[in-house]
Structure 1
Amino acid sequence: MNLIDRQQAMALARGFRLCWEPRQACHVLLHPGGIIELNASAGWVLELLDGHSSVATIIDRLAQRFPGVAGLDEDVLAFLEVARAKSWIE
């Protein structure tokens, strides 16, 4: 599998939908096979995936939102690799 390129744009995979679940106070991914409860960080990353913005742009937006977080870019890239391996994103 190729590593994620910071210049590529990504989006949720077909059949997946990101939603806010007020009862659980978290983001969830809905898909034909069920529901995936996400932690806050995963929700913040996935809500920025629009299929047009590059991964680098998404990392920059998160760095502005959460200034001073060490290793943010590596954490985002690692999460995106996991999400792609699970077929949540493309």
Structure 2
Amino acid sequence: MEEHMEAERRLRPEDVVELNPNYHFRWEEPQQAHVLLYPEGIVKLNQTAAAILEACTGAPSIADGTAELSRRYDKRNLGAEVLKFLEVAHAKGWIRVKS
């Protein structure tokens, strides 16, 4: 029940997220892309998705990861876009909120 409740709540900038241990994030040379490998298959990520996952799953919070992306790409106001993507990644089970 608690697991289901967590999936229902929206992510917040102060949340700390990590990759689901069932997924492995890496660069695939033959695909020339970052991918998520999991027991049932592979998800090929576009550059934006890979950058968000990389920045936000290694950061102290989603807000810190977003700030890093803003600096890296010299763009402001990425918060809503980053959260929107992470919501999808969370719903698909690629990431989870660290407790």
TM-score w.r.t. the length of structure 1 is: 0.90
Q: 2:52 aligns with which of 45, 52, 76?
A: 45
Any idea what the Cα deviations from partners look like across 1:26-77, whole Å, max 9, x if unmatched? 1000001110000001101111213x520000000000001135x4211100
* Greater strand fraction, Structure 1 or Structure 2: 2
Following TM superposition, the consecutive aligned residue runs of length 4 or more in structure 1 with deviations greater than 4 angstroms are none
TM-score w.r.t. the length of structure 2 is: 0.83
* Greater helix fraction, Structure 1 or Structure 2: 2
The runs of 5 or more residues in structure 2 that have no matched partner are 1-7
Q: Percent identity?
A: 36
Q: Which has the larger radius of gyration?
A: 2
Q: CA RMSD in A?
A: 1.3
Tell me whether 1:75 sits opposite 2:84 in the alignment.
no
Tell me whether 1:86 sits opposite 2:92 in the alignment.
yes
> 1:20 aligns to what?
27
Aligned residues: 88
